[in-house]
């Protein structure tokens, strides 16, 4: 066929639907390892409550072309719109996120300590921005926020070796400068650039997975499920699956993790060894049916004694739903005995933004593009793209190739 799309998550589904709906293209096929479409955005129902099986998934309102496209499959009147209420639990107090905009919610003595620490940061005194994430935390936010929140929280999220992470991805984080923090303490309200999902959509009657199922329905006879891709041959643009299927196409769109290819025939050895350097984390989702007494939609937890780093309260998303789920980096619960709770394990959750990753991906994607093989989405590009960005990128690529 003309297009072979590897993976039926947000990236693959968007790319395929754009080919069909905008270009009238019929010569394409998606191969998907699972028996359902949606990838990380899938949901299941449990006791009448939808659970997002890879953790809370909320659709940011910021890209009108993306929401317009998704509303073609699930009209706007099937979504609720929310203003974000997310919190951070520290040892003695819970405050709104981001911390640096909500220091005014701490007791007065502690506000002074935080402000004193932020006043001394490197970015206020004109020091050059560091290249490592760990150094950036102290340079931008100061020692107190680093020690109380950013260091312990990010270790829980990404692992102990935060030293490996770069700073090129920090545009994703909220940006609040010292004057804004000061102003927020004086006026008792948040200032500065707020984090993503300041406003977001979530389906009224379903989990986030529903919109992707509908998208898959639109191209149902172009998807083969249960196809575990194990190899790619760049000499013949052929892909092999674990059941010995072989598929050849003019153009191949890779949305699966590059490390899923046990064989990459025809690729130079340096690029193959580069792929082995790409890192990621796995995440466990554990659902509890009872309601917690929390006001937020979700809370971040920095306390190292708690295995999880975030709780999403599904009863605060919709009055008809119950329960909450914890999100935990899988390594932190390795070997813990199963306690009968509903658990979902996601082997690929967060691509790690290591210092060397941008160069690796640039070399890899450039080389592949010359052979009509295109990396797309969270894993194809090995980037922390949220689903709205993934959709936008897939729409754009479908228009270009």
Ligand X SMILES: Cc1cc2nc3c(=O)[nH]c(=O)nc-3n(C[C@H](O)[C@H](O)[C@H](O)COP(=O)(O)OP(=O)(O)OC[C@H]3O[C@@H](n4cnc5c(N)ncnc54)[C@H](O)[C@@H]3O)c2cc1C
Nearer to ligand X, 104 or 247 (CB): 247
71 binds ligand X (CB under 6 A): no
First to last CA, the chain: 14
Minimum CB–partner distance for residue 230 and ligand X (Å) = 7
The vertex-145 CA angle with 384 and 382, nearest 5°, equals 10
Q: Per-residue x/- marks for ligand X, 340-369, CB under 6 A?
A: ---------xx-------------------
The 3-state DSSP class for residue 189 equals coil
The first and second tokens of residue 343, run together, are 């658990």
Minimum CB–partner distance for residue 130 and ligand X (Å) = 26
Minimum CB–partner distance for residue 45 and ligand X (Å) = 19
CA distances from 286 to 44, 50, 51, 336, 355 (A): 13, 13, 10, 13, 31
The first and second tokens of residue 264, run together, are 């990459």
Nearer to ligand X, 115 or 330 (CB): 330
Distance CA 109, CA 374 (A): 54
Minimum CB–partner distance for residue 138 and ligand X (Å) = 26
The footprint of ligand X on residues 265-294 (CB under 6 A) is 283
Q: Please, are residues 229 and 33 in contact by the beta-carbon 8 Å criterion? A: yes
* 37-45, 110-118, 217-225, 244-252 -> range binding ligand X (CB under 6 A): 37-45
Minimum CB–partner distance for residue 86 and ligand X (Å) = 11
222 binds ligand X (CB under 6 A): no
CA distances from 302 to 93, 106, 110, 381 (A): 12, 16, 17, 29
Non-local CB neighbours of 161 within 8 Å, separated by 6+ positions? none
Nearer to ligand X, 40 or 398 (CB): 40
329 binds ligand X (CB under 6 A): no
Q: Per-residue x/- marks for ligand X, 47-66, CB under 6 A?
A: -------xxxxxx-------
8 binds ligand X (CB under 6 A): yes
The footprint of ligand X on residues 377-396 (CB under 6 A) is 377-379, 385-388, 390
β-partners of residue 3 are 28, 251
Among 4, 13, 1, which Cα is nearest to 373's?
Answer: 4
Evaluate the omega torsion of the peptide bond into residue 98 and state whether it is cis, within 30 degrees of 0.
yes
The binding site for ligand X (CB under 6 A) comprises 7-12, 31-34, 39-41, 54-59, 227-229, 255-257, 260, 283, 327, 349-350, 377-379, 385-388, 390
């Amino acid at each position: 066929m003309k297009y072979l799309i590897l993976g039926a998550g947000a990236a693959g589904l968007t790319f395929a639907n754009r080919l069909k709906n905008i270009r009238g293209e019929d010569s394409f096929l998606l191969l998907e390892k699972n028996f359902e479409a949606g990838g990380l955005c899938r949901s299941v129902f449990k006791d009448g409550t939808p659970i997002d099986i890879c953790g809370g998934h909320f659709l940011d309102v910021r890209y009108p072309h993306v929401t317009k496209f998704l509303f073609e499959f699930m009209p706007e009147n099937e979504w609720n719109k929310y203003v974000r209420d997310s919190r951070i639990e520290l040892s003695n107090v819970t405050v709104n996120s981001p911390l640096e905009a909500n220091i005014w919610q701490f007791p007065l003595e502690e506000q002074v300590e935080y402000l004193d620490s932020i006043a001394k940061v490197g970015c206020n005194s004109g020091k050059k921005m560091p290249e490592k994430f760990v150094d950036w935390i102290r340079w931008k936010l100061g020692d107190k926020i680093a020690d109380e929140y950013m260091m312990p929280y990010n270790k829980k999220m990404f692992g102990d070796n935060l030293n490996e992470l770069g700073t090129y991805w920090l545009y994703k984080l909220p940006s609040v400068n010292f004057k804004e923090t000061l102003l927020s303490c004086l006026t008792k309200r948040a200032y500065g650039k707020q984090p993503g999902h300041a406003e977001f959509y979530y389906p009224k009657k379903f989990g986030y997975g529903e919109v992707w199922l509908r998208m898959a329905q639109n191209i149902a006879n172009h998807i083969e499920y249960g196809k575990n891709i194990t190899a790619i041959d760049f000499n013949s643009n052929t892909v092999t699956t674990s059941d010995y299927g072989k598929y050849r196409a003019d153009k191949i769109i890779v949305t699966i993790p590059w490390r899923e290819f046990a064989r990459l025939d025809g690729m130079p050895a340096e690029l193959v060894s580069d792929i082995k350097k790409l890192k990621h984390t796995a995440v466990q989702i554990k659902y509890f049916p009872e309601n917690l007494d929390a006001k937020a939609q979700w809370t971040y937890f920095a306390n190292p004694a708690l295995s999880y780093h975030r709780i999403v309260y599904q009863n605060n998303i919709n009055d008809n739903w119950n329960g909450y789920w914890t999100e935990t980096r899988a390594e932190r619960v390795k070997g813990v005995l199963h306690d009968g709770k509903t658990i979902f394990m996601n082997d690929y959750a967060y691509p790690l933004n290591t210092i060397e990753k941008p160069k690796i991906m640039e070399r890899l994607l450039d080389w592949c593009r010359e052979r009509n093989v295109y990396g797309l989405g969270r894993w194809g590009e090995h980037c922390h793209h949220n689903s709205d960005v993934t959709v936008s990128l897939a729409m754009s690529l479908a228009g270009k190739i």
